[in-house]
Structure 1
């Protein structure tokens, strides 16, 4: 039963005795006062759910008392039932106009008052149920709005970090995002051969760094008091001020930070992969430059040998043409010498064609390497 406390107000002690007699075997806490001012004096402390209020009283009428009750935010929700010897339409309308919820006319029977109180009890139950529904709906709406705002922060963060290309800027952006949730955060990035720390206070304290080291391989989540530690392969996050008084917000924030650590780690891996690829590309560029230099030097050497060979053979031909006629050789001997010289020159020409083939092969290799670099 929702109705537990009733305040009866009447300047006639006999009327209060009747009310007490009617309600004595019911599970109500009943308090009785003799005037309007006394009612206003005790009402906040006693905190009744229903007031049985006499209309005609000296000093202050029931109507005036009801107006005061409804003007006070603390007492305005208390149900007021007027008790009066007169029950005309005008008087009832006056009662309703000042905020009363019910009206009973003296003399009334035991059963009539009990029925009215039972009805008011049902009204209280329905009001409490409705207020709870409104509170739940309001809480749900606020949670939805909070979650929507939080998701907006997360989306903005994800869009922002896509353009970040170094670990330091990523760590600072991560702290800024967590700061938007009013979270006091410490972050550790574990890279190959290097560990980076980030904190809202500027530097991580030694105890936080030790905590990262001790718990980095002990599971994904550690919660203690209003703190939470989240571990991933390359990132650990320590939050110092989780919202302990709001379970719904606590759960949302925990889910958010796990997702944020995961997203941040993927971007950190992307940054490191990009750096590695750029380093490999630079190494490849250096290798191509060295190959090109060696190819160029080899081609120049081959060209120089070809030029020297041509000069030697030309000089040989001139010498033979000048000396053979004076050597007293017969015709067959002269023909033999000229044939040998021609064969030697032809072999030299063949080697020159080989040089051209080598040049073409080198050029093709350079083109292939250039295409590889572009990819």
Structure 2
């Protein structure tokens, strides 16, 4: 083992302390103490790599010192070897129950002592490596779980945002997501000239609003201290405090917030398309209504004209028939009367045909209106 290993040797007999010093000082840094309280105080000052602990001491026995060390949750596990003249099974079990790692009976061989120390230090080093690996594995697992949970919040937002039909609903969903991520901020929707600001409450800090109001969208992420601004084409999110003390969490959170604001932007684009489509549908509905009204007016007007033409033409025929009978009928031959009536009848048929064309035009116009309505 490394010569830098630091060992505390605790024994109330000066000669035993000297034996331990001489046996170990060439290979280890060793400090010898005469009682238990001195050992407990020394551990607080400098953490030893291993403790050699006599059992029969006063005012604290080695067993009592060992138990106090094991009960101290602030201390890591320090390897402890009991060195005692008491070597029965009961005494060894008492040392084990107190928390000791090994037991050496006096008098002992120096080689045996050195071997136990070397093995226990190696075992301790291996245990520390395993514990460190375990801690790292737990950290990786917890980080993965945390990241999965955070990503789940982002995915949930993207899914639920599809049902947001206005800016207020979208902002509320965003703030609910920020709450679940343990973050706070304000949101700006729209361009700088027509921006609307949203907060979890109705109160918005004036300076935060001013910062967002004058911030451009040319930079996707702007950081200053714990705060950051995340921008997209039509949205901007100001986060008051990011976990900058945890570099891994900080980097992960920045990536997720950038994804979040892009999701907001995508939904805004869809809302604008829906609004534009709604306006077009409204305009089309108004146009159809106007066409229907105009068509109805044309139909009514044409009906009046037809009625007038028919009435006038019928009256004209009656007048002509009467005129023929009263005045010039006697001077006309039958052929002449038939010819005149043929002309009148043909004019009547031509007029009726023209009226029929107008009726067909009205029918076609109605069909066009009906077809547009069903599109």
Count of residue pairs brought into register by the alignment: 371
Unaligned runs of at least 5 residues, structure 2: none
Moved more, 358-367 or 200-209: 200-209
Which residue does the alignment assign to 2:372?
A: 369
| Match runs of 1:1-375 below 5 Å | 4-28=5-29, 30-75=30-75, 77-191=77-191, 194-200=194-200, 202-212=202-212, 214-326=214-326, 327=328, 328-372=331-375
Distance in 1 (alpha carbons) for counterparts of 2:139 and 2:170: 35
Is residue 220–residue 258 contact of structure 2 (8 Å, CA) maintained in 1? no
Instruction: Give the C-alpha shift of residue 236 in structure 1.
Output: 1.3
Change (3 A) 1:355 1:192: farther
Distance in 1 (alpha carbons) for counterparts of 2:37 and 2:105: 23
Spell out, residue by residue over 1:319-338, the C-alpha distance to the aligned partner (whole angstroms, 9 max, x if none): 12222133122233322221
Is residue 51–residue 79 contact of structure 1 (8 Å, CA) maintained in 2? yes
Instruction: Give the C-alpha shift of residue 47 in structure 1.
Output: 2.3
Spell out, residue by residue over 1:260-309, the C-alpha distance to the aligned partner (whole angstroms, 9 max, x if none): 11111111111121111111101000000111111111111111111111
Is residue 216–residue 236 contact of structure 1 (8 Å, CA) maintained in 2? no
Give me the TM-score of the superposition, normalised by structure 1: 0.91
Instruction: Give the C-alpha shift of residue 185 in structure 1.
Output: 1.0
Is residue 175–residue 198 contact of structure 1 (8 Å, CA) maintained in 2? no
Distance in 2 (alpha carbons) for counterparts of 1:144 and 1:78: 32
Distance in 1 (alpha carbons) for counterparts of 2:175 and 2:13: 71
Give me the TM-score of the superposition, normalised by structure 2: 0.91
Distance in 2 (alpha carbons) for counterparts of 1:138 and 1:342: 107
Instruction: Give the C-alpha shift of residue 360 in structure 1.
Output: 1.7
Distance in 2 (alpha carbons) for counterparts of 1:203 and 1:119: 66
Change (3 A) 1:101 1:178: same
Distance in 1 (alpha carbons) for counterparts of 2:111 and 2:254: 57
Is residue 188–residue 237 contact of structure 2 (8 Å, CA) maintained in 1? yes
Distance in 1 (alpha carbons) for counterparts of 2:276 and 2:75: 72
Unaligned runs of at least 5 residues, structure 1: none
